[in-house]
Structure 1
Amino acid sequence: MASSTTTSQEGSTANTPAPTKASYPPIPLWKLITSQSAFTPDVLEHTFPGSGTPEDPYRVEWIPNDSRNPLIMPSWIKWMITIIQAFAFLSITFASSAMSAADPQLEEHFGASSTLVIADTSLFILAFAIGPAVWAPLSELYGRQIVCVLTYALTTLFSGAVIASKNIATVLVLRFFSGAFGASAITNSGGVVSDMFTARDRAVAMLAFIGAPFLGPSIAPILCNYLAHGAGWQWVAALITFFVGTAFVGVVFVPETYHPVLLRRRAAKLSEMTGKVYKSKLDDGSKTPVVVFKTAMLRPWALLFREPIVLLLSLYMAIIYGTMYMEFAAFPIVFVGSRGWKQANSGLSFVGMGIGQIIGVVISFFDNTRYKRVIDRLPQGVTVAPPEARLFPSLIGAVLLPIALFEFAWTNFPSIHWIACQIGTVGLGISHVLIFLSVANYLVDTYTLYAASALAANTIIRALFGAAFPLFTTPMYDKLGIHWGSSIPAFLALACAPFPYLFHTYGPKVRRHCRYAAESARVMDELHNQPSKVPASTEDKTSEAREKV
């Protein structure tokens, strides 16, 4: 950065370096939380490229050992943030299915139909589609911290307001807004982790998020069925409020981690302090609100309809996601209606699925070791494994899922012991985690430059399926019965089972013929595997690639 007395056309400080460099203590946590532009004095002493003029501004980047750089923050801060974000994610997925445990009480209290009460869960899941369209671009413009704090405050507010609802319409509206604001956790939590960990180390941290989309919905009925039966639906709403409120308190202590915003704030602070012109190296001036929101709205759909990888795998994950939420309506039909379980005990029917999801997380942990070995065996100079290396767990899950669903469908006779059904739900939980994790990682590795848009397309389709499936579950079971009704998702899973195998085998060929995948592969190959051959014309694009990776 420019000294207050001496500048150079080659950089921002005098050419003669100081004989020794002072060592400054890292920025304390409280300052990381309260100031996005905080920096240590060595930033003032650093030589940034440029000359500090409007035509050639100083280009601000992270300096060596920069304590504000999220990638090199102390490990205890990284893991504190990771745990808080994972809990926030878990709380919103918990809230998504918790009220379904009180469906009988809501029907009785408001005199509403079962279809209208089930719509509570559907509306909450449908609101998740708002995340990629609104909260993601807002985070890109203003940072993750402010978006997370404000949205979780409003989520807590709307969740608490449900307790005082006077009719079912008010419950549905308040729950929709609670899900809409809570969707920011789905959009931003994983991004916070990617801000702090490199690709090699990120997998272990991301394990904290693997179970959140599954364990939350599975734990909720187990806890809330007893509460709804014994205390009423308002107490279920109160538990949801406590859960998301606790997450809100934690989110308040999470500092900003989004690199472009932090460097933008630093550049503005340095310009204010010195009178020189500074600009973030990651800020090309094109990220206006109109451009950002247009990209967020249009690019996911472009990927969905132009890229067969995104379309087929998003449909696959959406069917699995919809099936999972369908079980919240199906399990009471099977275990309460057919087997005669009491409502208070019906939540135990989700224990098998929860156990399976925990097993899936453990398997994923060990699979990360396999993936690291793949990277270690790469030829010298190649640092990025093919995306298809991520798909191995989904090969197992794709076979296990239809088997588990068929087992559940045809062992749910009242004459067969309930443990047989529960074994099927264990397989269901394992396959959910294995498929979701490997497919999500595959999409990220395939569309690195456009990973946010690929995952946004995936999230939107998942939300639509997750909202629709519970609505037709009861009519379908009434017409087809518990056996054939449970077989429908099994046939869908069987039809989609070849998808991971097709992309594992033919993925490289398919990617070469997909516009966005091929462009991402080209730039990332230049960035990681052949850095010395990157032409000058691709410098800006490569910088963008670094930021988005």
Structure 2
Amino acid sequence: MATSVPMSQATTLHATDEEAVLRLPHDVERGAPDGTERGGPAGKSLKFASASEYPGSGTREDPYRVDWDIGDADNPFNWSKTRKWMITGQLALSTFTVSFCSSCYSGGLASMSAELHISQTIAILGVSLYVLGFGLGPLVFAPLGELYGRRIVFVLTASVFMLFHLGGALGHNAATILSTRLLAGIFGSAPLTNAGGALSDMWVARERGFATSLYGTAPWMGPVLGPIVGGWVSQSRLGWRFSFWIMFIVSALNALSYYFLTPETFGPVLLRRRARRLTKASGRAVLFVSRFDINRSVSLSAVLKRDMGRPFYFLFTEPIVLLLAIYIAIAYATLYAFFAAYPIVFQERRGFSEGEGGLAFLGIGVGNLLGISLAPIQNKLYWRAMDRNDGRTVPEARLYLPMVGGIFLPISLFWFAWTSDPPIPWIVPVLAGIPFGFSCAIIMQGLTQYLMDAYSIYCASAIASTVILRSVVAAIFPLISPALYHNLGDAWACSVFAFLASACMPVPFLFYKYGAWVRSKSKWALRDNVPIHTEPPSRADFDDKKVPEASEKAVV
């Protein structure tokens, strides 16, 4: 039988790790050379004993259910902190890369429009289609990551993503450039959801605050630096096409970093591979199956059918997911609206060059850095809440900083709106970007962490819901921004976004007060009134609704 240990704040074992001592049955032992079998990339020995301590009988009807050892070195939760931080940094860099490529394109819109003889609206479509791809890719890549592992999805999609930048570098018409931008967005989207799942594969809730902050801030820092690089490159003798070569180079480095630095982190896939090795080591005399695959189909069609629809199901049935997705979409899409608005405000109205117009985004970048610098404060507040709750996860304790950000976001947008027009000095609207970037960073960090804690094993599906909605809205906002600015004027056009942000401002406050009650009504979210499991149920149990509570680990 599997053995368990009490869960504490100091333990390296995660709440979803059902500990078991790894032993093979007597009939396997007799066929094993020297009593050992090599297994796993880390060179772990599969030890043999005279009796199986796995539950099951080894038959097809009742296979041995494979689980982690106590302190298992192959369990990502037991990896060293150095290794975890290396992987976390690489995943944050990959998220930064795909978001950087979304906006680097925008720095050369004027030059590209002139050379290809296309309108500004058609040129901006390159931003919108790319971001729209962010919403399409996760529908396929998240289920594929569950079935085949996160690493193979990261490596393959990053390699294809790199190649599609050649469409802009070498293409000679708008159709080629726009179609490859859409495809680049689709294949670049994998880290936007799967990287969040990979973080929850390694970090327990108490430890993952700063790691999640890096992941949550990267999608905001990339779009800020992109226009600066793209703008200066486009106005130089290198021309706007060299921006695509820069994207190609950055994407190539990203693909190589996946290949050399990112191992497989998804626990169910690692256990599935171990089960196959054990079955093979037995001469297929007995059958071993990962505990996550019991009573679950692992065929591609079944996984796609089950998981592709879950983000949409969450959007329409889970109030937490719906309202947070709307809030994130408004903040995220407003940033992308600025890719069309900043050229109007600073280049058309104030005579900035493309490079100087890109520098106007530095205010947002400074705000983002301020936002991530507050992550340690949020972590301390969260730890105190956990200590008051006997070490239990307290999702609502992730909402302290989003409540602050909810206040500053509309203030920053009204500030920018009513200081955009000359003769007000240009530095004033640029400085408005600091509270905007700050508020967006802490909103994104806190709400992402809240979804991870509240939806635990299904957090990647919940995050995918927000990615889909924010990508659709972010694809629309850049297209409508020029019309808003030309028809309403700079002040009232940006005020529209400020009013939307004001309408969303109460959301974190409402969930801070009533979030626990809302979660108690959900079939999928963590419930506070259910005891912590030292031997948590398998994911199959959740799918069959055999237990009311989700554990902490996100796996989709």
The question of a shared fold, defined as TM-score above 0.5 by the shorter chain, is answered with: yes
Deviations 1:71-118 (A, max 9, x none): 112332222211111111110000011101010111011101100000
CA distance in 2, matches of 1:3, 1:543: 32
Match of 1:372 among 370, 374, 383: 383
Aligned to 2:296: 286
Instruction: Report the alpha carbon displacement of residue 55 of structure 1 after superposing the two structures with TM.
Output: 3.4
1:255 alignment partner in structure 2: 263
Please state if 1:239 is matched with 2:243.
no
Structure 1 residue 167 displacement after superposition: 0.4
Aligned to 1:164: 170
1:13, distance to aligned residue in structure 2 (A) = 7.1
Aligned match for 1:359, one of 359, 366, 370? 370
Match of 1:317 in 2: 328
Q: Which residue of the other structure, out of 157, 170, 184, is the alignment partner of 1:151?
A: 157
Q: Indicate if the aligned counterparts of 1:527 and 1:542 stay in contact, CA closer than 8 A.
A: no
Matches within 5 A, 1:132-531: 132-230=138-236, 231-253=238-260, 254-275=262-283, 276-287=286-297, 288-378=299-389, 382-517=390-525, 520-521=526-527, 525-528=530-533
CA apart distance, 1:54? 2.6
Q: For 1:107-146, what aligned pairs fall within 5 Å after superposition?
A: 107-146=113-152
Offset at 1:285?
3.9
Partner of 2:18 in structure 1? none
Aligned residues: 520
1:31 counterpart residue number: none
Cα deviation, 1:26-57, whole Å, max 9, x if unaligned, reads x9xxxxxxx96665225445843333333332
- 8 A Cα contact 2:143 2:308, kept in partner: no
Comparing 428-437 and 66-75, the one that deviates more: 66-75
Unpaired segments ≥5 residues, structure 2 = 1-21
Change (3 A) 1:503 1:529: farther
Q: Which moved more, 1:58-67 or 1:476-485?
A: 58-67
Counterpart amino acid of 1:158?
A: F
Tell me the residue number matched to 1:32. none
The answer to whether the 8 Å contact 1:89/1:185 transfers is yes
Distance in 2 separating the partners of 1:92 and 1:408: 27
Structure 1 equivalent of residue 64 of structure 2: 58
Q: Distance in 2 between matches of 1:531 and 1:83?
A: 30
Paired with 1:544 and 1:478, the residues of 2 have a C-alpha distance of: 50
Judge conservation of contact 2:369–2:438 (CA < 8 Å) in 1: yes
| Alignment CA distance shift 1:13-1:64 (3 Å) | farther
Q: CA deviation at 1:511?
A: 2.8
Q: 5+ residue gaps in structure 1?
A: 15-20, 28-34
TM-score normalized by structure 1?
0.89
Identical columns (%): 38
**Cα distance change, pair 488–43 in 1 and its aligned pair in 2 (3 A):** farther
CA distance in 2 between partners of 1:198 and 1:81 (Å): 15
Separation of aligned partners in 1, 2:536 and 2:186:
42
Shift of 1:530: 11
Does the Cα contact within 8 Å between 1:39 and 1:68 map onto a contact in 2? no
Report Cα offsets for 1:388-441 as digits up to 9, x if no partner.
211111110111011110011111221122222122110000100111111222
SS at structure 2 position matched to 1:339: coil
Match of 2:100 in 1: 94
Q: Give the deviation of 1:266 after TM superposition.
A: 0.8
Q: CA deviation at 1:64?
A: 2.5
In structure 1, C-alpha distance between the alignment counterparts of 2:545 and 2:55, rounded to whole Å:
15
Hey, what's the Cα distance between the residues in 2 that align with 1:547 and 1:385?
12
Distance between the aligned counterparts of 2:486 and 2:90, measured in 1? 42
Distance 1:375 1:346, change over 3 A: same
DSSP 3-state at the match of 2:207: helix
Give the aligned residue type for 1:506: Y
Does 1:41 find its partner at 2:45?
yes
Which aligned pairs between 1:20-39 and structure 2 lie closer than 5 A?
A: 39=43
Residues 260 and 280 in structure 1, CA contact (< 8 A), matched pair in contact too: yes
2:131–2:474 CA contact under 8 A, matched in 1: yes
